[in-house]
Structure 1
Amino acid sequence: MQPIFVLVHSPSVGPSTWHPVAEHLKAAGYQVRVPSLLHIGAGAPPFWPCIVNAVRDDLRQVAADSPVTLVAHSNAGLFLPAIRAGIDHPVTSSIFVDAVLPARIGPTPVAPPELLEFLGPLAVNGWLPRWTDWWDEADVAPMFSDPMVRQTVIEEQPTLPLSYYEQHIPVPDGWDDHPCSYLLFGPPYGDFANEARERGWRVAHLPGAHLHQIIDPAGTARHLVEFGTMT
């Protein structure tokens, strides 16, 4: 049975960062789900159970015996072990796209100390500005090639509490006992790609900025199919 691609966006942005890739996958004959995580910052910490619930609720529209391929971008990678443990569907593979890797075992912090040190002064009454507002225009502009897409992605972004980045995500034992792969776009995620390679995962490089999936959705989709259909 052909797996259903479940494209999990970074909670720092929104599902529109996956929509172009989803359209290419659908055109190629694959079923695709893009759960929305836009609401996850509205409650109290910890936030990871809300992310797991959002994916599980979205998959209620899919037969429970349907296999899925989990695909995570950016810091959504940290949640894949918990998502896999929290859904009813068999997971045939997990793909990390320019993503942070969870630990092999034990809780994983969402943000390392140096990132928390950077974010602290940005917070106002405990809330951070939108992700693209953290950076200078020189950093943001290369991530977009289409003004309309840029407007959609930027306007959709949630604001998240600083406590989202202060949480630790549980990592169930044996979470990576199935095929895992890594698709690298570029710095600063090269170290994670190297770590994935050291773990024995398949690794590919599609050069681009951090949101390259919206610039080259066709190329991204091709890599996902290659990873998701290999055993």
Structure 2
Amino acid sequence: MNHIAATDDLILVGHSSASPLVAELATKLPARAIIIVDGDIPPPHGRASPVRPVLHDFIRNLAGAEGMLPVWSRWFARDPQRAALIGLDILARDPLALAQFEDGLPTMRVDWFDDTIDLLRWDHIPAGFVQASPIYDHATTEALRRGWPVERLNGTHLHPTLCPDEMAGAILSLAHRLRQRS
């Protein structure tokens, strides 16, 4: 943790499965706020998984004999509707961009998704939510129920990659609103 400069204005941002990680980090660093981008909202404390149970079951069926998964972008190759919600169809229009994207993806073992984080209570830390895709309608509902500010974009799960300027604007807007609250 000594690579992060001390500041009283630290706002942590987590995308997708990084949501529990950003909540955990916020309890260990002097975080002023957190922003979750197109991910599940972790419980206020206790055990948190990187993915919902239905996705976990789906992933288990993709693993090879050694427990290795294909790169993340290939998980939804047989489901064009899901690929479109994620934005893989847009990325695939440029084979070079897709290849570069996939080159940056880690190869993972399926048992990585068995890990959980035992979260300390983090719900006292101001938080906001950016919904980039309809996949996370349920998380937007939960964020609103918790009284969080929400930014909704009409995009895909890969909006941070496909439309970085719009995503940066949404994150900065939320950061400004969260600073005003604290």
User: Structure 1-normalised TM-score?
Assistant: 0.67
What one-letter code is carried by the residue in structure 2 that aligns with 1:212? H
Aligned equivalents of 1:94 and 1:145: distance in 2? 33
**Which residue is equivalent to 2:144?**
197
What is the CA deviation profile of residues 127-157 of structure 1, one whole-angstrom value per residue up to 9, with x for unaligned ones? 2111011111731213566544322211110
What residue is the counterpart of 1:131 in the other structure?
A: 72
User: What per-residue deviation string (whole Å, max 9, x for no partner) do you get for residues 28-70 of structure 1?
Assistant: xxxxxxxxxxxxxxxxxxxxxxxxxxxx3542xx2x2353110
Please give the alpha-carbon distance, in whole angstroms, between the structure 2 residues aligned to 1:70 and 1:81. 9
Task: Name the CA distance, whole Å, in 1 between partners of 2:21 and 2:75.
Answer: 23
Contact 1:68-1:91 at 8 Å conserved across structures: yes
CA distance in 2, matches of 1:97, 1:145: 24
* TM-score normalised by the chain length of structure 2: 0.84
SS in 1 for 2:23: helix
Counterpart contact for 1:130–1:160, Cα < 8 Å: yes
The reply to whether residue 209 of structure 1 matches residue 149 of structure 2 is no
Aligned equivalents of 1:58, 1:150: Cα separation in 2: 31
Runs of at least 5 residues in structure 2 that lack an aligned partner in the other structure:
none
SS of corresponding position for 1:154 = helix
**Is 1:76 aligned to 2:24, yes or no?**
no
Q: Contact 1:116 / 1:165 at 8 angstroms: preserved in 2?
A: yes
Quote the sequence identity (%).
26
- Whether the 8 Å contact between 2:63 and 2:110 is mirrored in structure 1 is yes
The aligned residue for residue 49 of structure 2 is 109
Name the CA distance, whole Å, in 2 between partners of 1:57 and 1:121. Answer: 39
Q: How does 1:56-75 map to 2 (within 5 A)?
A: 56=1, 58-59=3-4, 62=5, 64-75=6-17
Matches of 2:127 and 2:164, distance apart in 1: 21
Q: CA RMSD for the aligned pairs?
A: 1.9
Q: Which amino acid aligns with 1:99?
A: G
* Contact persistence 2:50–2:116 (CA under 8 A): yes
Measured after TM superposition, the shift of residue 114 of structure 1 is 2.0
Deviations 1:3-36 (A, max 9, x none): xxxxxxxxxxxxxxxxxxxxxxxxxxxxxxxxxx
Match of 1:96 in 2: 36
Q: How many angstroms apart in 1 are the aligned matches of 2:97 and 2:36?
A: 23
The answer on whether the counterparts of 1:142 and 1:209 sit within 8 Å (CA) in structure 2 is no
Deviations 1:76-112 (A, max 9, x none): 012112112233xx21211111112111121112233
Q: Which residue of 2 aligns with 1:34?
A: none
